[in-house]
A and B are shown apart, each in its own frame.
Chain A
Amino acid sequence: MQGEKEKDYFERPGNIKKLWIALYVVCALTIVFELFIDRTPHFGIDRIFGFYALLGFVSCAILIIIAKVIGFILKKNEDYYD
């Protein structure tokens, strides 16, 4: 097929790099936007600038690491129960 030979958007070299840049830019923008909002902190800790960005980053990193570590014990071969 003609379409098979041509490389897709996600396969063309350089595009992945562009997507990475776009992701960083969007992340940065969400933090920059915080300068323009009037946020009312509910608890002491969320008074920090960029609190939600920090929370998202740190908690997800921790969740992945926990899953990875637990995985060493809990992950079994597909036929474990057979």
Chain B
Amino acid sequence: MINIHPGWLLIAGALLLPLIGGKARNWFVIFLPAAALYIISQLQPGMSLQYHFFGYELTFLRVDRLSKIFGYIFTLNAFAAFIYAFYVKDSTQHMAALFYIGSALGSVFAGDLVSLYFHWEVMAIASTFLILSRRTKKAMGAGLRYILMHIFGGLCLLAGIVLYISKTGSIDFNAMTERTAATYLILVGILVNAAAPPLSAWLSDAYPEATVTGGVILSAYTTKTAVYTLIRGFPGWEILIVVGCIMTIYGIIYALLENDMRRILAYSIINQVGFMVTGVGIGTVMSLNGAAAHAFAHIIYKALLWMSAGSVLYMTGKSKCTELGGLYKTMPWTMIFGTIGALAISSFPGTSGFTTKTLIIESSVHQHLFWVWMVLEIASAGVFLHAGIKFPYFVFFAKDRGLRPGETNRSMLVAMAFMAFLCIFLGLFPGPLYDILPFEMEHYHAYSFAHVTTQLQLLMLSALVFFLFLPLLKRTDTIAIDTDWIYRRGGAFFYSVVDRVLNGFNEVVERLVVKGLVRSIVNFSQLAPALVLSALIYPYWVISGFDKKERAQRKEELYRDINTGAMSVGLISISVLLYLGILFIF
């Protein structure tokens, strides 16, 4: 039995990367996931790579059907993504990608909560570099918000794990049955990575700012590692049905509002992961298999969609629907592959989406969950609307903006052709995928004349609505506010409120106390002796027969003398006498 950890193989490869230069490096990073894929296929079920750690036994390699299916798709997608990235010369991107994919595999094969947490955090950090590598101001900001959100999720996860271990005394990671603060905290930590609203804005904020290949790679791992963890730890938690259903509709509405093509695709990840999360919540063998199968198919077609959007961005430097259009003329292959991805995500009969999503929807029917079934059917129609038609229509057709970029480079086309082939192959022959599903299930037939007909009804009428409502869908050069407003503008808003209240208070205090009260006290103490003296001496001047003018002059002299401290002896002695007199009288 081979005992090599497939994830660590990629991480080891990342560490070797600086030693390899030129094109050899690009070949090397294609070879690594292929080798990891082979290793996974040879792994025997069981626990291995166990180490003692502060009295606990860590298991770094748990092999069973569930970890294997995710291992297969993670390495397969990495293989295609690195072919796509063959043109990339920047070794930081490749290193970050290998660390990211390696630690995602590490999370999937982790047999306990501690090693899961360790890989989980490495994944968050490594993925941030795929965003920062774009080296734009927007990417820097988005990368910072991305890592902050993941630190928050990681802390929830950590707090939950620590509570869980102290309560149960075990670090085993299996299906959680008890609903305690500990398990709910773990769940929240995972849902951050699954991009469940309102904790989802990091995805649509950061992924579209990533590099061309970074977007392709990011789209697969973080959210799908979360789906794996949910299948493993939280099968049948009803709350996930609610969360999943919200995600499906949320993704559609936002994708309809969006103008940036990669942001449309980012929102459709939330929509698609919603189907999987719902499947986990339903919790039957069929729905859990459906969640795993859908994750498998989704990674392929979603990577394909990101690849075609990436090619457009790479060739034109543009990603807004308001600036794109008419590209079918010069980028026909990118258009064809992108459209295959768009059909697959819409579960068009003959594509992989059709053979996998059906499992989840049908399991909701078997459990007689009417509303869940309704939402999933509505969301299926909506997918065709926002990703299936909107993406290819506005990017490749719609209004010709006069862009004539030419077809993208060959390695990108090869990778897209490979993924497009898989979309159709798994759509026509789902058998090999059904065979590796995690839980025993009797053979399933996705195709029946009735099912194909009803699915086509749903999709074609959605298409009709799209074109009938086209004026309402006209793209505007705008962004849509998501929950990231809370920490992007909310922070500034909070600042300005606090600024106004506290500084306003300061100002009032300054005006009243510092400038008003203190000043008048100062003035009073400066003038008091002169006032008292002049009041006391005034009758003397009157008696002495000074006229008004003389009295004013004397008064002025008196003030000046007091202010400069230059008073004649006589005056002082008079005033002393007067004081004494006053004291004597009272």
Contact = CB atoms under 8 A, between A and B. Distances in A.
B304 interface: no
Contact of B480 (A23, A52, A64, A71): A71
B453 A33 contact: yes
Contacts of B450: 37-40
A60 B466 contact: yes
A42 B373 contact: yes
Interface centre among B249, B373, B464 (most CB of A within 10 A): B464
Contacts of B454: 34, 39, 51-52
Nearest to A26: B460
Contact of B467 (A23, A59, A75, A76): A23
A55 B458 contact: yes
Interface in B470-493: 472-473, 476-481, 488-489
A30 B467 contact: no
A56 interface: yes
Contacts of B453: 30, 33-34, 37
A55 B378 contact: yes
Interface string A59-82: 111011111101101111110110
Given A8-B329, A60-B461, A63-B385, A75 B370 contact: no
Given A27-B460, A59-B382, A76 B253 contact: no
A55 B458 CA distance: 7
A64 B479 contact: no
Interface centre among B257, B457, B488 (most CB of A within 10 A): B457
A74 B480 contact: yes
A53 interface: yes
B455 A68 contact: no
B462 interface: yes
Report whether over half of chain A's contact residues are helix, strand or loop; otherwise say mixed. Answer: helix
B542 interface: no
Interface in A17-50: 20, 23-24, 26-27, 30-31, 33-34, 36-40, 42-43, 50
A56 B480 contact: no
Contact of A23 (B378, B464, B476): B464
Contacts of A30: 453, 456-457, 460-461
A60 B489 contact: no
Contacts of B252: 63, 67
B480 A75 contact: yes
Contacts of A60: 381-382, 385, 461-462, 465-466, 469
Interface string B235-252: 000000000000001001
Contact of B479 (A11, A24, A51, A76): A76
Nearest to B256: A67
Contacts of A31: 457
Contacts of A38: 450
B256 A42 contact: no
Contacts of A56: 381, 457-462, 465
Given A30-B460, A43-B370, A56-B458, A70 B257 contact: yes
A68 B458 CA distance: 22
A63 B256 CA distance: 9
Contacts of A76: 478-481
A78 B478 contact: yes
B257 A55 contact: no
B449 interface: yes
Contact of A42 (B365, B472, B489): B365
A52 to B, nearest CB: 4
A57 B465 contact: yes
A12 to B, nearest CB: 13
21 contacts: A11-B400, A23-B463, A30-B460, A30-B461, A34-B453, A36-B449, A37-B453, A52-B457, A53-B457, A53-B460, A55-B377, A60-B461, A60-B469, A61-B469, A63-B252, A70-B257, A74-B481, A75-B478, A75-B481, A77-B479, A80-B489
- Give me the 9 closest cross-chain CB pairs, A-B, nearest first: A56-B461, A67-B256, A60-B465, A52-B457, A56-B458, A53-B457, A59-B378, A37-B450, A52-B454
Given A60-B466, A63-B256, 8 more contacts: A23-B460, A27-B461, A52-B455, A55-B381, A59-B382, A60-B382, A77-B479, A80-B481
